[in-house]
């Protein structure tokens, strides 16, 4: 086996596990048909003039050593770097770059933007991961990438295969073993030689079969002629001829079995192999041996012809990519770990009941670079030894979900659109205002002020839908209107369900957006990832039948129940009512089967309960979202942009959000005139906006200000950037 594996320190006894005489065969120095000793005793050499170990007689030396011209064309990793020219040949106005959505790019459409040829230069926003991939390709290190789907993990893995050298690729041949048919022999040769070796074997087998056929027909003719000329029966002569024909046919199978089976063919490979083994079963990943129903009588398929390579063997000298690696069976992960360490792995039948389980080849080279990927939960179910193997001989990198919004990044996003158009091949290029609209959507999807999303798969889906709309109308370019229409058409299932749910509630007048109602507050929530919905909360005070308690309905999850308890602490602190004699009933109206999770309804619950206790109506034109501390501080939450838009769609004119979430608001232009956004830092500010009835409200708010905390004013509560806002 070749010694240049990607394992730095293989075990010292790894080479002692096999006899030394087997080594030249796996290094490709000699053919099994040319070996002296036991391997040569029972096998005739079918190609006497072909010696792959000889430099003088080898007719295909050009596959071994690239010419000087080819060396000049090979780009090394040193030629690459972290800096990527994103807009070659395109004018950039640096004076307006900071405020311009295109980062100062002077283009009419994405047709003016040049797309880099190298895949590694097309990666956007993952600079750390990109640099690690370049280093790992140079040093042949393993990499594990963890992050959300659609952040570019598979693209980086493919880019890595393009950075690896390609001149040392190999073909792998499997030969029949005359000593033991269930242990086929393995031979590696330089890429391109495998086909010529097989052709030579086939030609020699054809010549032998031809000679045997001639001999067979001569014998048959003699037998039949003798039967005709002699007094013997002609029928006996025909029977004898048939027996002779069967004998020759049976014995000729041995000649065909001498033709090797090429399980890995890299003759046409121009870059290092890349194998995506995501979701592969054990046989597809580790190799397998096909089942043979005919195992006797001369009709069986030779075992070496039934050998099938796995992804680990096809990726030899290249990259093996496995996404969602934690979904692999634990035994498969153990075997994969062995393949990584040894750089070779024998192929055997993966099914214990199959006849292929009797066959096991000699070790087959699998000197690959492992690129594992997955979400955060991938590390929990991943075999610890396999992860340790990757980490010990490589890198671990976390893929970012968002990146800071800078002029350079905006220019890269414009190039991303150009890349998607070119990769698809059927979409019209995007005009400058269409590109601006996509970048605005990237800002919205980031969920953070001054950031852009790095979930490019979903963003690329928006680009393709917009392009399809323009193409259906036979437009020369994709315009902003097409992008806006695509945003409506490319809604997620959750968004479609939420919109349908909102429309049905309007039909039954379940939403109230005007007047004042005691104990009823328009809360806001998020369904899925990007679907805002208005969720009313009602509170009622009733005499207790025993000790007073807080009773909440609406299929609350654990975090929501805890938020209700936090709210009850504030109520007990300020209320003059003896709560031991009262039951507080809280209802999340039509929370649905999924119930309520998260604590973003805390200020909604507090406002509803206080309104019910004090008999002060709540302004129904106000909607709100926010978490609440036990001291009365309004804490940041997630999804404020989608919640604000949901309030506007429901007809509310004001929306209360946490002060810390001001920087996260990126609503569509059409909603800016429809609703007033009011940031609040304390529950007293919330009540001042939400409650109606000036005398009683003013008295309540003044009393509440004197007893609730002022953590925001004292700077003891972190900003949204340092918080972990709830998604609900």
pLDDT tier, 298 (very low <50, low <70, confident <90, very high otherwise): low
The string of pLDDT tens digits covering residues 216-252 is 788 878 877 777 777 667 777 778 878 877 777 666 6
Model confidence pLDDT, tens digit, residues 657-687: 999 888 888 888 788 889 999 999 988 889 8
- Spatial separation of the C-alpha atoms in residues 22 and 651, rounded to whole Å: 80
Q: How far apart are CA 481 and CA 486, in angstroms?
A: 8
Q: Which of the four pLDDT bands, split at 50, 70 and 90, describes residue 350?
A: confident
Residue 268 DSSP one-character state? T
Q: Retrieve residue 106's tokens.
A: 């002077």
Residue percentage of the chain with pLDDT more than 70: 75
Instruction: Give the H or E element holding residue 404.
Output: strand 402-404
Output 146 or 500, whichever has higher pLDDT. Answer: 146
pLDDT at 689 over 50: yes
Among 86-95, 275-284, 435-444, 658-667, the minimum mean pLDDT is found in: 86-95
pLDDT by residue (tens digit) across 41-88?
A: 333 334 334 343 333 333 333 333 344 444 444 444 444 434 444 555
pLDDT of 14 > 70? The answer is no
Question: Taking CA 84 as the corner, what is the angle to CA 80 and CA 86, rounded to the nearest 5 degrees?
Answer: 150
DSSP SS3 for 536: strand
pLDDT (average), residues 579-605: 72
pLDDT at 352: 74
In 3D, which of 81, 75, 80 has the Cα closest to residue 167? 75
pLDDT in tens, 531-565: 788 888 888 888 877 766 777 776 665 555 666 66
Say what the pLDDT of residue 672 is.
86
717 band by pLDDT with thresholds 50, 70 and 90: very low
The pLDDT, as a whole number, for residue 31 is 39
- Residue 319 pLDDT: 94
pLDDT band at 589 (very low <50, low <70, confident <90, very high): confident
Regarding predicted confidence, which is higher, 702 or 140? 140
Angle at 721 between CA 719 and CA 726, to 5 degrees: 90
Where residue 723 falls among pLDDT bands split at 50, 70, 90? Answer: very low
Beta bridge pairs of residue 556: 596
pLDDT reported for residue 698: 75
Mean pLDDT score of the chain: 77
Tokens of 202: 């086939």
Q: At 579, is the pLDDT very low, low, confident or very high (cuts 50, 70, 90)?
A: low
- Above 80 in pLDDT, residue 182? yes
Dump the DSSP string for 64-90.
TS--HHHHHHPPPGGG--S---SSTT-
Confidence of residue 719 (pLDDT cuts 50, 70, 90): very low
Give the β-pairing of 369-374 and 319-322.
parallel
How much is the average pLDDT of 685-701?
A: 82
Give the predicted TM-score (pTM) of the model.
0.71
Q: Of the candidates 130, 728, 719, 718, which has an alpha carbon nearest to the alpha carbon of residue 397?
A: 130
Nearest partner of 323 among 123, 130, 121, 156, judged by Cα: 156
Q: Calculate mean pLDDT across residues 295-316.
A: 82
Q: Does the pLDDT value for residue 212 go beyond 90?
A: no
Active site residues: 600, 643
Distance, CA of 590 to CA of 701 (rounded, Å)? 30
For residue 327, pLDDT over 50 is answered with yes
What is the full DSSP assignment across 319-388? EEEESSGGGS-HHHHHHHHHHHHHSEE--B-S-TTSGGGG-BPSPEE---EEEEEE-TTHHHHS-HHHHH
């Amino acid at each position: 086996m070749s010694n240049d594996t990607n394992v730095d320190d293989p075990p010292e006894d790894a080479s002692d596990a096999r006899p030394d005489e087997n080594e030249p065969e796996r290094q490709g120095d000699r053919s099994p048909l040319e070996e002296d000793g036991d391997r040569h005793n029972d096998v005739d050499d079918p190609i006497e003039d072909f010696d792959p170990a000889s430099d003088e007689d080898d007719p295909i030396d050009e596959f071994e050593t690239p010419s000087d011209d080819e060396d000049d064309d090979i780009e090394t990793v040193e030629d690459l770097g972290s800096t990527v020219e994103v807009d070659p040949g395109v004018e950039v106005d640096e004076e307006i770059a900071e405020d311009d959505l295109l980062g100062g790019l002077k283009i009419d459409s994405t047709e003016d933007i040049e797309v880099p040829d190298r895949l590694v230069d097309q990666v956007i926003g993952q600079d750390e991961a990109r640099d690690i991939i370049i280093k790992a390709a140079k040093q042949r290190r393993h990499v594990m990438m963890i992050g959300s789907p659609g952040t570019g993990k598979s693209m980086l893995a493919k880019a890595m295969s393009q950075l690896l050298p390609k001149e040392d690729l190999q073909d792998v041949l499997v030969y029949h073993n005359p000593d033991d048919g269930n242990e086929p022999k393995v031979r590696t040769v330089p890429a391109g030689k495998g086909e010529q070796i097989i052709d030579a074997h086939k030609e020699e087998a054809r010549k032998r079969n031809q000679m045997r056929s001639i001999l067979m027909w001569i014998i048959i003719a003699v037998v039949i002629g003798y039967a005709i000329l002699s007094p013997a029966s002609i029928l006996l002569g025909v029977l004898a001829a048939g027996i002779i024909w069967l004998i020759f046919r049976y014995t000729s199978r041995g000649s065909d079995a001498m033709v090797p089976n090429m399980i890995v063919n890299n003759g046409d490979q121009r870059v290092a192999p890349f194998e995506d083994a995501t979701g592969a079963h054990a046989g597809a990943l580790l190799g397998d041996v096909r089942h043979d129903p005919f195992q006797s009588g001369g009709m069986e398929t030779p075992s070496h012809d039934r050998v099938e390579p796995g992804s680990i063997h096809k990726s030899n000298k290249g990259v093996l990519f496995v996404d969602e690696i934690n979904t692999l069976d634990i035994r498969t992960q153990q075997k994969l770990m062995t393949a990584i360490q040894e750089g070779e792995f024998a192929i055997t039948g993966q099914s214990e009941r199959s006849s292929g389980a009797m066959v096991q080849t000699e070790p087959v080279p699998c000197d690959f670079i492992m690129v594992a990927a997955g979400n955060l939960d991938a590390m929990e179910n991943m075999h610890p030894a396999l992860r340790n193997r990757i980490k010990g001989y490589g890198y671990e990198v976390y893929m970012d979900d968002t990146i800071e919004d800078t002029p350079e990044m905006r220019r890269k996003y414009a190039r991303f659109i150009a890349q998607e158009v070119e990769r698809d091949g059927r979409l019209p290029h995007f005009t400058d205002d269409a590109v601006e609209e996509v970048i605005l959507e990237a800002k919205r999807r980031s969920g953070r002020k001054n950031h852009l999303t790095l979930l490019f798969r979903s963003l690329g889906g928006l680009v393709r839908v917009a392009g399809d709309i323009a193409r259906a109308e036979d437009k020369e370019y994709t315009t902003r209107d097409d992008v806006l229409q695509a945003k409506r058409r490319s809604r997620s299932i959750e968004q479609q369900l939420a919109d349908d749910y909102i429309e049905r509630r309007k039909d039954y007048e379940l939403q109230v957006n005007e007047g004042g109602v005691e104990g009823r507050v328009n809360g806001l929530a998020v369904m899925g990832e990007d679907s805002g919905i208005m969720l009313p909360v009602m509170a009622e005070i009733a005499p207790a039948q025993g000790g007073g308690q807080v009773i909440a309905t609406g299929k609350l999850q654990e975090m929501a129940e805890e938020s209700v308890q936090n709210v009850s602490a504030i109520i007990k602190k300020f209320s003059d009512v003896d709560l031991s004699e009262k039951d507080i009933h809280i209802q999340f109206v039509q929370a649905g089967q999924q119930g309520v999770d998260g604590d973003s309804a805390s200020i909604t619950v507090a406002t509803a309960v206080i309104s019910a206790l004090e008999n002060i109506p709540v302004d129904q034109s106000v909607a709100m979202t926010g978490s609440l501390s036990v001291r009365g501080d309004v804490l940041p939450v997630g999804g404020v942009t989608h919640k604000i838009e949901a309030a506007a769609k429901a007809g509310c004119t004001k929306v209360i959000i946490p002060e810390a979430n001001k920087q996260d608001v990126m609503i569509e232009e059409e909603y800016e005139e429809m609703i007033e956004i009011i940031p609040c830092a304390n529950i007293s500010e919330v009540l001042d906006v939400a409650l109606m009835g000036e005398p009683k409200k003013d008295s309540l708010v003044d009393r509440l200000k004197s007893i609730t905390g002022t953590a925001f004013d004292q700077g003891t509560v972190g900003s949204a950037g340092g918080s972990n806002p709830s998604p609900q």
